[in-house]
């Protein structure tokens, strides 16, 4: 079965092509094809997983050779799949959550005229994401990387008849290009230094490479990861990406695609092993982003944007863990999986709320929905408990470990990283509780035309399944270090290090901060009245509401100088290159003009020229030959 | 007398024909210059035939004659067509070949 | 070998008339001179042992080609006189120089050549030529046949003037005349039906009225016409009254 893993990619891809090419006649039932394709991929993945579990842990990496892709000269590259515990984890996450979201979308997109196109894009995304995680070389990974970027672009701009949505899609695409540039540069460096792009050769060569080389590659890969995972400074696209339909936000912009950067870093572990500077940068970026995301999340009133900020922050945790080295890799992936469940579940819950509230996204117009939408309230609540890290829910098992790991190290580093992770936990508790209380508790602040109602079963069932996952998956995987052992063949065995603070202290501090955050949120948004319009606020709040002025900063730091630079270049081009070309051309034109005068149109002149030529030819022949 | 003298005569006639083509503006006269050049070439061919004792040179001359006849037919037809269009047969008049 | 006297005679009747190409003003004179050149060349062919070619030369060139030239000259007008003044700057002198240079050049080269003349003079009798033409060169003859047909068709096409509109019938001519208000019939001669049959008396129409424009315009200008009313037909018509018209 492991050799048939190519089906994982082929089935959704074929389904996507079928749906896109099939035309309107597929409209009545096309979405079920999409669901079936995703489900098939899940089943294939499940069988492969079971088969893999039956193998010894060191036999679990399985290479699938597909075909010779780039056979030429110095670069010989085969297209192949690498099926190992890490990629298998992603396969399960993507196909399972993906299938649930497919199901959910059948109901959510029911009234959309282009539902078939939506499912085609979703299938395309699943195929590309699986190609990304299954690829056995950076180049094939890049194909998947671009594929998910394309699918993300198409789905953010799915309602592209609204100009701002189309702009959001463009923004995501452009910012992702910067990250893609990083990946391309990284591949170029690998090819220059190692002459190879497949994982095996690159990692083998990385053992003997210099620190400077590995640092350069590592930083380039970090740029790529930042672009795809919305880490600072390339985070600006994620909030706007919420323009897409909510299932898209759940699948692509919360559970799977945005975690591709974490996957890339964990997969490239052998490179980061030899580049401590790059590794520290990764951790620093992660720590910074988790605080930044949390701060933004505290001020957002748009439920989806608040969740997006939370996603950014949670991925910050994962990147931080990935930057800690072997002790963090497994926890990064662990948190990625649990986050995939609870965040997807919460997004679906948000979608359910919007479904019942006429697509209202402003939390200030929600409130007291717990009675109207019980299922949504419970499932969302489980996700909320999970993200808070309350034991024994999933988030506790993964996030707490990350915070612990962040405190491991020497010098100031553990105090900074660990402190950031710890504060982040408290901030997370505050903004997620704020979101939860504003939406489901307090007084009803609905507009007159809103009549909240529970969503159909097709939507609630996936939410329930994800909520169950949010609740118990962490416990299940953490028991006996199951998940860490499972990933050990890929991430390597981590030596146990003691944190600078006792584990118990860290855990109690975390839980205390979480409790403090929840209490503060309850006081302000659960008990007190929430104004229906955002009140005037401090400078810090305004900054957070505006995403820390990220767009203005980008405009001032990159766009303006860039514009001036291009203008200067255009001017220089016109003044130097163009004029040189023009002058040369003008010179030839004048030469032609003077030669043209010999073409006076007189037949006899031409005859004369011919005769003169004849005489010259005879002269040459006679002088030379006779 | 050596038959090579006829070749010299042919050269002179050829030069006269060429001069006529260059100097005369009347298309018909210029055309007659062309005919004279062709005939000069024929004379040379026949003279060579005599010098070498081979009859093939005459055959060549015969072929040239036929081709020249065909050329005259087409050439004169062109001159008539041009005359119909422009009411003149001056070679300087149609200057559309100007660059 | 060739008789030198004969050669010089041939040279004289070819080169001197040929010079008319350069100096004669009238195209007809040039054409007639070229006829003489062709006869001289035919003579040369016969002298060089090509009697058949000589005959063909006379028939084709003097008989057909040059006559064709004369026809065309007639067609475009014999008096298409050519201004011998040169219009292109330098054309005359450069042309003359080049042509003369070419001639001098060829003559000097040929003059230096010595080739042993064959002892067995060829005789291009018709039967000999015919055997060669239709045996060794039969393919060339066929191709030349194609060429001649093509040339003939080409000449037809080039001189053909297509009819751009349908031929006007007599009926249409007549209708057009009526439409523009002209007389339906020919203009009558002066004096027709009038009492005097003279140039200065206008003709009378069927109603007996004088037709003024039947008298020459010149006579009117000279005031030499008679008053038409005077010669009006005296018709007996009770219905007509004076001043009726």
User: Rounded distance, CA A102 to CA A411, Å?
Assistant: 48
- Cβ contact C98–A611 (<8 Å): yes
Distance between CA atoms of residues A470 and B4, nearest Å: 116
What is the domain partition of chain A in residue ranges? Answer: 295-305+314-545, 562-625
Q: Give me the pLDDT at residue A200, please.
A: 85
Report pLDDT digits (tens) over A71-104. Answer: 777 777 788 888 888 888 888 889 999 999 898 8
- CB-CB under 8 Å, A606 with B98: no
Q: Which of B36, B39, B71, B91 to mutate to test the interface with C (most CBs of C within 10 A)?
A: B39
Phi/psi of residue B26, nearest 5 degrees = -70, 120
CA C221 remoteness from chain centre? 42
* Interface subset of A 192-231, CB within 8 angstroms of C: none
Q: What is the DSSP letter of A479?
A: G
pLDDT at B36: 94
Spatial separation of the C-alpha atoms in residues A246 and B90, rounded to whole Å: 86
Average pLDDT value over all residues in chain A: 85
Q: Is pLDDT above 80 for B7?
A: yes
pLDDT band at B96; cut points 50, 70, 90: low
Res. C6 pLDDT band, cuts 50 70 90:
very high
3 state SS of A223: helix
Mean pLDDT of all residues in A247-271: 87
| Residue A482 pLDDT | 80
Mutate to test the interface with A, among B21, B37, B93 (most CBs of A within 10 A): B21
Contacts of B22 in chain A (CB under 8 A): 604, 607-608, 611
Instruction: Give the mean pLDDT of A126-152.
Output: 90
Q: How far apart are CA A318 and CA A403, in angstroms?
A: 10
Sign, CA dihedral A429-A430-A431-A436, equals positive
Right CATH for C1-78 from 3.40.50.1000, 3.40.50.740, 1.20.120.10, 1.20.120.1200: 1.20.120.1200
Within 10 angstroms of residue B85's Cβ, the number of other Cβ atoms is 9
The answer to whether residue C84 scores a pLDDT higher than 70 is no
Sorted by where each begins, the domain ranges of chain B are: 4-86
Strand partners, C210: C204
Q: Where residue A389 falls among pLDDT bands split at 50, 70, 90?
A: confident
DSSP notation for C164-229: -SPPPPHHHHHHHHHHTT--SSPPPPTTTTSSS-STTS-EE-TTS-EEGGGS-HHHHHTT-PPPGG
With CB atoms and an 8 Å threshold, state whether B4 touches C110: yes
Most confident range (mean pLDDT) of A497-511, A538-552, C27-41 is C27-41
Residue of C nearest to B34 (CA): C21
Q: Are C192 and C203 in contact (CB under 8 A)?
A: yes
Which token pair is A340?
């995939």
In this prediction, residue B15 carries a pLDDT of 94
Q: Residue A612 is nearest to which of C98, C105, C106, comparing CB atoms? A: C98
Classify residue A73 as left (phi > 0), alpha (psi -120 to 50) or beta: left
What would the two tokens of residue C42 be?
Answer: 């035919």
Could you tell me which residues are beta bridge partners of residue C211? C203
Cβ of B91 and A600 within 8 Å?
Answer: no
Q: Quick one: tokens of C192?
A: 């027709």
pLDDT of residue C245: 45
Determine the residue of chain A that is closest to C100 in CA distance: A615
Nearest by CB to A602, which of C88, C98, C109? Answer: C88
What are the phi and psi torsion angles at B2 (to 5°)? -65, 130
Q: Cis peptide leading into C81, omega within 30 of 0?
A: no
Asked if C83 and C50 touch (Cβ cutoff 8 Å), the reply is no
Q: Does pLDDT of C42 surpass 90?
A: yes
Distance from CA of B23 to the nearest CA of A (A): 8
Is pLDDT above 80 for A41? yes
CATH topology of domain B4-86: Helix Hairpins (1.10.287)
Q: Which residue of B has its CA nearest to C32?
A: B32
Residue A426's nearest CA partner among A530, A510, A549 is A510
Q: What is the DSSP string of A424-443?
A: HHHHHHHHHHHHHHHHHSS-
Chain B: closest CA distance from residue A197 (Å): 60
**Chain B residues closer than 8 Å to C144 by CB:** 63, 66-67
Q: At C233, is the pLDDT very low, low, confident or very high (cuts 50, 70, 90)?
A: low
> Nearest to residue B8, comparing CAs of A101, C111, A534, A547?
C111
User: Rounded mean pLDDT of A470-495?
Assistant: 80
* Per-residue pLDDT tens digits for A561-602: 889 999 999 999 888 888 999 999 999 999 988 888 777 777
Other CB atoms within a 10 A radius of the CB of residue C14 amount to: 27
Segment C131-154, tens digit of pLDDT? 989 999 999 999 999 999 999 999
Which residue from A minimizes the CA distance to B34? A607
Tell me the C-alpha distance between B44 and C11, whole Å. Answer: 14
Collect all residues of chain A within an 8 Å Cβ-Cβ radius of residue B21: 604, 607
- Chains near C with 3+ CB pairs less than 8 A apart are A, B
Q: For residues A479 and A394, is the Cβ–Cβ distance under 8 A?
A: no
Which residue, among A46, B23, A211, A236, has the nearest Cα to C100 in the 3D structure?
B23
C61 CB-near residues (< 8 Å, 6+ apart) = B35, B39, B65, C35, C38, C41, C42
Using the Cβ of B34 and the Cβ atoms of chain C, whether some distance falls under 8 Å is answered with no
A290 cis-preceded (ω within 30 degrees of 0): no
Q: Is the pLDDT of residue B16 over 90?
A: yes
Q: Which residue, chain included where needed, has tokens 């004179």?
A: C29
Helices of type H across C3-65: 4-23, 27-47, 51-57
Answer whether A121's CB lies under 8 Å from A13's CB: no
Asked if B98's CB is within 8 angstroms of A604's CB, the reply is no
Chains that touch B (3 or more CB pairs under 8 A): A, C
Write out pLDDT tens, residues A219-235: 999 999 998 888 888 88
Residue B97's pLDDT is what?
57
Is residue C235 very low, low, confident or very high in pLDDT (cuts 50, 70, 90)?
Answer: low
C101·A615 Cβ contact <8 A: yes
Task: Kindly report the backbone phi and psi dihedral angles of residue B90, in degrees, each rounded to the nearest multiple of 5, phi listed first.
Answer: -75, 140
Of C226, C235, C181, C182, the residue nearest C206 (C-alpha): C235
Question: Can you tell me the ipTM of this complex?
Answer: 0.90
DSSP code, position A362: B
Coil, helix or strand for A376?
A: helix
Q: Do B97 and A611 touch (CB under 8 A)?
A: no
Residue % of chain A over a pLDDT of 70: 99
d(CA A121, CA C241): 105
Which residues of C are less than 8 Å from A602 in CB distance?
Answer: 88, 91
Tokens found for residue A353? 């709320």
A492 has a pLDDT exceeding 80: no
Confidence of residue C239 (pLDDT cuts 50, 70, 90): low
């Amino acid at each position: 079965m492991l050799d048939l893993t190519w089906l994982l990619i082929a089935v959704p891809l074929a389904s996507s092509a079928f749906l896109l090419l099939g035309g309107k006649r597929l409209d009545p039932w096309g979405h079920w094809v999409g669901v079936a394709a995703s489900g098939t991929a899940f089943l294939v993945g499940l069988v492969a997983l079971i088969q893999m579990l039956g193998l010894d842990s060191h036999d679990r990496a399985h290479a699938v050779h597909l075909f010779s892709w780039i056979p030429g000269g110095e670069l010989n590259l085969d297209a192949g799949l690498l099926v190992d515990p890490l990629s298998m984890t992603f396969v399960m996450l993507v196909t399972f959550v993906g299938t649930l979201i497919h199901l959910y979308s059948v109901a959510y997109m029911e009234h959309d005229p282009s539902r078939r196109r939506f499912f085609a894009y979703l299938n395309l995304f699943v195929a590309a994401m699986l190609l990304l995680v299954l690829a056995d070389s950076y180049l094939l990974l890049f194909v998947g990387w671009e594929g998910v970027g394309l699918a993300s672009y198409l789905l953010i701009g799915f309602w592209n008849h609204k100009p701002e949505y189309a702009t959001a899609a463009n923004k995501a695409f452009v910012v992702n290009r910067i990250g893609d540039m990083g990946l391309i540069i990284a591949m170029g460096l690998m090819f220059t230094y190692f002459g190879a792009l497949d994982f095996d050769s690159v990692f083998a060569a990385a053992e003997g490479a210099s620190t400077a080389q590995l640092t350069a590659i590592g930083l380039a890969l970090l740029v790529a990861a930042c672009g795809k995972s919305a880490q600072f400074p390339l985070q600006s696209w994620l909030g706007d990406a919420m323009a897409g339909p909510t299932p898209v936000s759940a699948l692509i912009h919360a559970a799977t695609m945005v975690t591709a950067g974490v996957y890339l870093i964990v997969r490239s572990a052998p490179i980061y092993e030899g580049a401590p500077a790059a590794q520290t940068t990764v951790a620093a970026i992660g720590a910074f982003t988790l605080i930044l995301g949390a701060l933004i999340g505290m001020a957002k009133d748009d439920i989806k944007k608040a969740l997006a900020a939370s996603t950014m922050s949670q991925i910050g945790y994962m990147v931080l863990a990935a930057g800690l080295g072997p002790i963090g890799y497994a926890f990064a992936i662990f948190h990625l999986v649990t986050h995939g469940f609870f965040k997807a579940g919460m997004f679906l819950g948000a979608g359910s709320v919007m479904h019942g509230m006429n697509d209202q996204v402003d939390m200030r117009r929600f409130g007291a929905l717990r009675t109207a939408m019980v299922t949504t309230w419970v499932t969302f609540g489980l996700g909320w408990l999970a993200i808070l890290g309350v034991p024994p829910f999933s988030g506790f098992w993964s996030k707490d470990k990350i915070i612990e790991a962040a405190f491991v190290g020497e010098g100031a580093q553990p105090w900074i990283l660990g402190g950031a992770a710890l504060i982040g936990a408290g901030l997370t508790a505050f903004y997620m509780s704020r979101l939860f209380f504003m939406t489901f508790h307090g007084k009803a602040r609905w507009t007159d035309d809103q009549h909240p109602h529970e969503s159909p079963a097709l939507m609630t069932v996936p939410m329930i399944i994800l909520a169950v996952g949010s609740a118990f998956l962490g416990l299940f995987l953490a028991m006996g270090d199951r998940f860490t052992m499972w990933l050990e063949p890929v991430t390597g065995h981590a030596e146990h290090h003691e944190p600078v603070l006792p584990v118990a202290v860290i855990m109690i501090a975390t839980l205390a901060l979480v409790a403090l955050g929840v209490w503060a949120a309850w006081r302000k948004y659960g008990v007190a009245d929430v104004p229906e319009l955002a009140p005037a606020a401090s400078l810090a709040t305004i900054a957070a509401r505006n995403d820390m002025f990220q767009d203005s900063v980008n405009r001032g730091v990159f766009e303006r100088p860039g514009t001036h630079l291009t203008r200067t270049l255009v001017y220089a081009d016109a003044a130097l290159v163009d004029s040189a070309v023009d002058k040369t051309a003008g010179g030839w034109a004048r030469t032609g003009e003077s030669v043209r005068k010999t073409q006076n149109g007189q037949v006899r002149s031409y005859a004369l020229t011919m005769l003169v030529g004849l005489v010259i030819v005879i002269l040459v022949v006679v002088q030379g030959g006779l | 007398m050596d038959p090579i003298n006829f070749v010299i005569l042919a050269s002179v006639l050829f030069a006269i024909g060429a001069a006529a083509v260059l100097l005369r503006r009347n298309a018909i006269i210029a055309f007659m210059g062309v005919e004279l050049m062709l005939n000069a070439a024929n004379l040379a061919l026949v003279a060579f035939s005599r010098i070498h004792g081979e009859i093939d040179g005459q055959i060549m001359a015969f072929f040239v004659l036929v081709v020249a006849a065909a050329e005259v037919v087409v050439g004169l037809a062109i001159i008539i067509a041009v005359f119909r269009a422009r009411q003149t047969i001056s070679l300087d008049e149609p200057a559309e070949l100007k660059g | 070998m060739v008789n030198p006297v004969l050669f010089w005679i041939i040279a004289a009747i070819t080169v001197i008339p040929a010079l008319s190409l350069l100096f004669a003003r009238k195209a007809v004179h040039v054409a007639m001179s070229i006829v003489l050149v062709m006869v001289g060349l035919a003579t040369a062919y016969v002298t060089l042992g090509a009697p058949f070619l000589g005959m063909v030369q006379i028939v084709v060139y003097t008989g057909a080609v040059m006559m064709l030239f004369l026809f065309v000259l007639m067609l475009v007008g014999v008096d298409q006189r050519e201004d011998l003044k040169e219009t292109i700057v330098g054309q005359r002198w450069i042309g003359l120089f080049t042509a003369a240079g070419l001639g001098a050049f060829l003559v000097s080269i040929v003059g230096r050549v010595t080739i042993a003349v064959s002892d067995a003079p060829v005789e291009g009798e018709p039967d000999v030529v015919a055997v060669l033409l239709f045996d060794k060169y039969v393919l060339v003859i066929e191709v030349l046949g194609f060429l001649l047909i093509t040339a003939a068709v080409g000449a037809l096409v080039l001189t053909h003037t297509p009819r751009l509109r349908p031929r006007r019938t007599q009926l249409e001519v007549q209708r057009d005349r009526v439409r523009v208000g002209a007389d339906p019939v020919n203009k009558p001669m002066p004096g027709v039906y009038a009492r005097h049959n003279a140039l200065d008396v206008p003709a009378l129409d069927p109603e007996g009225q004088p037709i003024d424009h039947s008298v020459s315009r010149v006579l009117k200008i000279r005031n030499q016409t008679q008053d038409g009313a005077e010669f009006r037909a005296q018709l007996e018509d009770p219905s007509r009254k004076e001043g009726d018209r």
